[in-house]
Structure 1
Amino acid sequence: MPTSSPAGPLPPADGLLSAARRNLRELAHELSHVSHPSTPLLAGAPKLWQRLLPYVVVLALAATFIPVTITVLADDYGVSGALAGALGVAQAAPLLMLAHRPLQAWWIIFPADVAGALVLLGRPAAQHGVWPWTPPVIVAYLFLLLAVGLRETRRTVIGVWLVTGAAGALLHLISPDRSDGSALLLTILGAVVLVIGGAVRERGVAQRRLAEQETISEAERSHRTLLEERTRIARELHDVVAHHMSVITVQADSAPYRISGLPKAAEEEFTAIAAAARESLGEMRRLLSVLRSDGTEGDRAPQPGLDRLQQLVEATVRAGLPAQLALSTELRSWPGGVPPAVDLSAYRIVQEALANVVRHAPGARTQILVAPDKGHLLVLVVNGPAATRASPLETSGTGHGLVGMRERVRLTGGTLDTGPLPDGGFRVAARMPLPPPTAPVAPPTSPA
């Protein structure tokens, strides 16, 4: 009968073997394929000296370890000059690759270190010689492992460490009498170095991902702010347009009763106009019904305009902000009147600009100018620096204010200019087109 453990049946032997083979294949794949592009370490650093630092380090390592390795092999271990030079170059020259290809450097240095240990095995044992890894090999290999830990994945790092430890253990078994513990020392120190390099690499990866998420979140917030402001503007314009469409409908419906003697064709034309206006009004309300999800009465209230700017400024002054309004009287008698969209946008721009002054520069003296200028309505709000050194009510805003101003001005076909002033204040200047003035029509003269 098949045996079973208290925790459940044991897995079949073929399953363990297949899992081991699969893990070995994955490990071999990780060791033979780099997990990063051939970009140098610190390639994205902001300063030039930081980008050049890895090259300086690898040049210093190679220039140091090539002659030291050759000298130690020739003087301490009695290796011939040509063989010592070949081994020294093979074991230390690939350190030049640590800045961009540390795993490929490991594939060269590790076999060279093993070959060097086998060569030393055939030489007489030195009195103070360290085997299987010589002192230069141990130190240079630790730099190599640090570079691997900084660039490669966790699986690759574990594979490099396992192969290194296995090679050291195998060499120890080949000649235990000559082994003095350097294999174990390199395995322990290598584990520490790999853990440090892997921790630094994973921390850098986490920081990059966090920065990417913050960038994505900022873009999403900006897009959401833009959509919210467009929704708000659409709601207000819906009220304005709906009012005028309703007036057109009422006038077209009542025209046959207010004007006597209309021909039949004119009455039919007024009826068609009223029906078209009524249908357009219904379509617009259905299209924008989703924008009235809250259904508050404030949405259906009459929208403010230039005639309420004085009240807005007086309320701001009562709140403690010294503000002065210069509203041109020409706007009251402007031919054709100020368009509703421009009228509402001008009020909202002044309102938002004053709110920004209250939030970010409390007590700052503010000047508001609203006047016609070369066929445009000029809205200028300029404030000075904060009156006191007290902290502002808000140090960072949501961005809704400037986005809303920009959207409103763009909707009317105007331009917006905002920015700080040299004295520490802020300036908001909007220009929105006004209808061209039309010459008054002269009354007809009666015949003599």
Structure 2
Amino acid sequence: MPPSPAGPPPADGLLSAARRNLRELAHGLSHASHPPTPLFAESPRRWLRLLPYAVVVALTAVFVPVTIDVLTSDYEVPGGLAGALAVGQAVPMLMLAHRPLQAWWIVFAVDIVGALVLLARPEPQGTIWPWTPPGVVGYLFVLLALGLRESRRTVIGVWLVTGAAGLTLHLIAPVRSDGGALLLFVLGAVVLVIGASVRERSEAQRRLVEQWTISESERAQRTLLEERTRIARELHDVVAHHMSVITVQADSAPYRISGLSEETRAEFASIAAGARESLAEMRRLLSVLRSDGSRGELAPQPGLDRVQQLVEATVRAGLPAELSLAADVADAVERGRVPQAVDLSAYRIVQEALANVVRHAPGARTRVSVTMLDGHLTVLVVNDRPQKPGPPLEESGTGHGLVGMRERVRLTGGTLDTGPLPDGGFRVAARLPLPPPRPPSASPHPEDL
């Protein structure tokens, strides 16, 4: 059988929900939802941090004499009693900067006392009751401070308590009440809604800034991981080449060297098998690092021997660039004395630096120099300020360029120095360590034979 439709909720359920809501409202009215810190406390501007204090001091200085004058002249309250009521209604405004809920309790209680005091006095002509005009305006400022600082539950509780107090005073003296309680109830609702809207908008903006900061951090981390993956894919060819050489040498050793024992032949076979297994693992690793749907590059990885072609292509693209490649660097590259990881990293650093100049400083004269000194390979790319500054080809870069340079330099154990120049240009300097030269007793390089 189909289930019967749910009937009305039981009475005990409604009562328990009502009691729970009343407890929450009471807790909201008795406990502030924020620490006792003023508005704009975290602002970097000093004048903005002092602004809430200046406002509450100005409000207190205005409302104390105005309230005394209205009570004595319009309501014919004795001067001493008028001064006490004015102090009780206006001085707590000094707490609005950091403790608005406590200030509201004091002002609310004093306003009730003031209404009872006025009730005992003869009714003057042309006045409102139970709240005086200065009391209404001051109370609205208190409600505005509450709306800006407190939670929605507290704001609703304050509004309901204000309405209940006005209704109670109206029932006490219905003949004397002329709509002052209703006026404060309606205006208070408007002010509370305005304050709460401003507070929630500020809270939303704060959360948006936090999310933006988190997104920027995640984007930077993702960029770093993408660059590391790309570098790992490029270095795969370098490592695979060395592993292939080991495999070939181990396989051909029994045929090139005569008189080897069976143990030695087995050792060379084991080395070749290990090298093949390592090479297969490298290929599997590369398949994991490669993006979905992408294919591996078949061309060999570039090096410093192709920097001249890179600079020439950049010149053809419209960037005035010149290259200074030291003779000892060219000789070391030609003889294979520069490690392939360093060779590839130097080429990529020059490539990224020239790409950044094209993107962010089109037309700037650029100088590229590669030197070798004290066991280090130094790559220096300096661009001048553009002769005819114009908008960059890319308004916002991805940040991959400098991130990739840092990762490549870190991979080789070198150092990277980047930054603007006093004349408006930019400088990229990378210092990559080179292995120490081989001792004379070492076997000569094949190209040296």
Q: Is the pair's TM-score, using the shorter chain for normalization, greater than 0.5?
A: yes
SS at match of 1:431: strand
Correspondence for 2:446: none
Q: Distance in 1 between matches of 2:384 and 2:395?
A: 17
1:410 counterpart = 2:391: no
- The answer (yes or no) to whether the contact 1:236–1:299 under 8 Å persists in 2 is no
Letter in structure 2 aligned against 1:47? R
1:115-162 deviation line (CA, Å, top 9, x unaligned): 111121112212333210011211110110110011112222122112
1:383 equivalent in structure 2: 383
Cα displacement string for residues 312-364 of structure 1 (whole angstroms, at most 9, x for unaligned residues):
11111111111111112212433861011100000111111111111111122
Q: Which residue of 2 aligns with 1:246?
A: 244
Q: State the aligned residue count.
A: 437
Alignment of 1:74-113 (within 5 A): 74-113=72-111
Write the mapping of 1:261-300 to structure 2, written as runs, cut at 5 A.
Answer: 261-294=259-292, 296-300=294-298
1:129 to 117, 127, 151: 127
* Residue number in structure 2 paired with 1:372: 372
2:312 maps to a residue whose letter is E
Change over 3 Å in CA distance of 1:213–1:82 after alignment to 2: same
Structure-1 residue corresponding to 2:361:
361
Amino acid at match of 1:320: G
Report Cα offsets for 1:407-428 as digits up to 9, x if no partner.
0001100011111122222111
Distance in 2 between residues matched to 1:127 and 1:272, nearest whole Å: 113
Q: CA deviation at 1:194?
A: 1.3
Of 407-416 and 31-40, the range deviating more from structure 2: 31-40
CA pair 116-242 structure 1, distance change in 2 beyond 3 A: same
CA RMSD, Structure 1 to Structure 2 (Å): 2.1
135, 138, 141: which one aligns with 2:136: 138
Deviation at 1:298, TM superposition (A): 4.1
Distance 1:294 1:20 in 2: 58
Q: Residue 75 of structure 1: CA displacement?
A: 4.1
Structure 1 SS opposite 2:391: coil
Q: Secondary structure at the match of 1:158?
A: helix
Q: Give the 3 Å change call, closer, same or farther, for CA 149–296 of structure 1 in structure 2.
A: closer
Q: Is the 8 A contact 1:331 1:337 kept in 2?
A: no
1:83 corresponds to which letter in structure 2?
L
Q: Deviations along 1:21-62, whole A, 9 cap, x unmatched?
A: 332222222222211121111112221011001111111222
Residues 154 and 198, structure 1, Cα contact 8 Å, conserved in 2: yes
Match of 1:197 in 2: 195
What does residue 447 of structure 2 align with?
none
Q: Where in structure 2 are the equivalents of 1:11-22 lying within 5 Å?
A: 11-22=9-20
> 1:231 aligns to what SS in structure 2?
helix
* 1:225 aligned to which of 223, 226, 229: 223
Larger deviation, residues 190-199 vs 425-434: 190-199
Contiguous gaps of at least 5 residues in structure 1? 1-6, 444-448
Contact 1:239 1:300 in 2 (8 A): no
Would the aligned equivalents of 1:44 and 1:51 in 2 still touch at CA under 8 Å?
A: yes
Q: Distance in 2 between matches of 1:12 and 1:264?
A: 93
Residue 313 of structure 1 is matched in structure 2 by: 311
- Asked if 1:175 corresponds to 2:189, the answer is no
User: Which moves more between the two structures, 73-82 or 432-441?
Assistant: 73-82
What is the rounded CA distance, in whole Å, between the counterparts of 2:146 and 2:51 in structure 1? 17
- Counterpart code for 1:157: V
1:243/1:294 Cα in 2 relative to 1: closer, same or farther (>3 Å)?
Answer: farther
Deviation at 1:439, TM superposition (A): 4.6
Pair 226,323 (structure 1): closer, same or farther in 2 beyond 3 Å: same
- Indicate conservation of the 8 Å contact 1:245/1:277, yes or no: yes
Shift of 1:394: 0.5
Deviations along 1:195-220, one digit per CA (max 9) or x if unpaired, are: 21111111110110110000000000
* Distance (Å, rounded) in 1 between the aligned partners of 2:294 and 2:246: 26
Shift of 1:281: 2.6
Separation in structure 2 between the aligned mates of residue 15 and residue 188 of structure 1, nearest angstrom: 32
How far apart are the structure 2 equivalents of 1:435 and 1:16?
A: 82
Offset at residue 306 of structure 1 (A): 0.8
Amino acid at match of 2:437: P
User: 1:376·1:432 contact (CA, 8 Å) conserved in 2?
Assistant: yes
Residue 392 of structure 1 corresponds to: 392
